[in-house]
Structure 1
Amino acid sequence: MEARAYLKYARISPRKVQIVLDLIRNKPADVAMAILRNTPKAASEYLIKLLKSAIANAENNHNMDVSRLYVAECFVSPGPILKRIRPRAQGRAYRIEKKSSHVTLVLKEKE
C-alpha cells in the first residue's frame, strides 16, 4: 500500500527542488519533516506542504499507520517554462526563462 501526493506547476526550478528531495529520500516521514523544517532552501516550503498532504492521504484514504511511514519515492520533473524578455543595451533583448516543476512524493509503510 502506498500514498501519493503531487505538486504541479510549482514556480521553482527543478534543480533547486532536486537538491532538497535528495535529503529526504528513504527517510521516515517524521525525520523527513524535521529535515525540511531545518533546511534553509526555498523548495523546503513547497515540500513541507506536500509531505503533510501525503501523510494526510495515507492516514485518511488508506488507513495507514502514520508512525510507520517513510518516503519511498520522490522525484521532480520540469513543468512548462514561462519565457520573458529582458531589454539589453543597443536595442537587444535577452530571454529569461522562468522554470516550473512537477513534484511527486510517495509514502509507504515499513514492514
Structure 2
Amino acid sequence: MSVFKARRVIDQIRGRSYEETLMILELMPYRASYPILKLVYSAAANASNNMGLNEANLFISKAEVNGSAIMKKLRPRARGRSYMIKKPLVI
C-alpha cells in the first residue's frame, strides 16, 4: 500500500493508549487500518509475553511509515531519448 495512505492512519494513533488505539483503528474506514491493527495486536502480545507488561498500561510512543528503496532504470525511447523507470524494491 502507499506510504501516504498508511501514514494518514498512523498519524491518528501516535501517542494514544492501547485501548484507544484499538477503538480508533476498528472504526476507521481506511483500508490501511487493518494491517496496522494487526501490527498493534502483535506488538501488545510481544510486550505482554516477552516483557511481562500489562496491556492496559501500554501506549503508542513511536510509530512511523517509510517508503522502500527505489531501483532506477533507463528505458530507451524514440529519437535517442530515455525514460526513467522507478521500481520499488520489496525487501
Give the TM-score range, shorter chain. 0.7 to 0.9
**1:23: Cα distance to partner?**
0.5
Equivalent residues in 2 for 1:14-93 (5 A)? 14-80=3-69
**1:20: Cα distance to partner?**
0.4
Unaligned runs of 5+ in 1: 1-11, 84-94, 102-111
**1:16: Cα distance to partner?**
0.4
Unaligned runs of 5+ in 2: 73-83
Give the superposed CA RMSD.
2.5
**Bigger radius of gyration:** 2
The number of aligned residues is 80
Q: Which amino acid in structure 2 is aligned with residue 40 of structure 1? A: P
1:8-42: per-residue Cα shift (whole Å, max 9, x none)? xxxx0111011000110110001001100000001
Aligned CA distance change for structure 1 residues 99 and 54 (closer, same or farther; 3 Å): same
Question: 3-state DSSP class of the match of 2:64?
Answer: strand
| Structure with more strand by fraction | 1
Report the TM-score when normalising by structure 2: 0.75
| Structure with more helix by fraction | 2
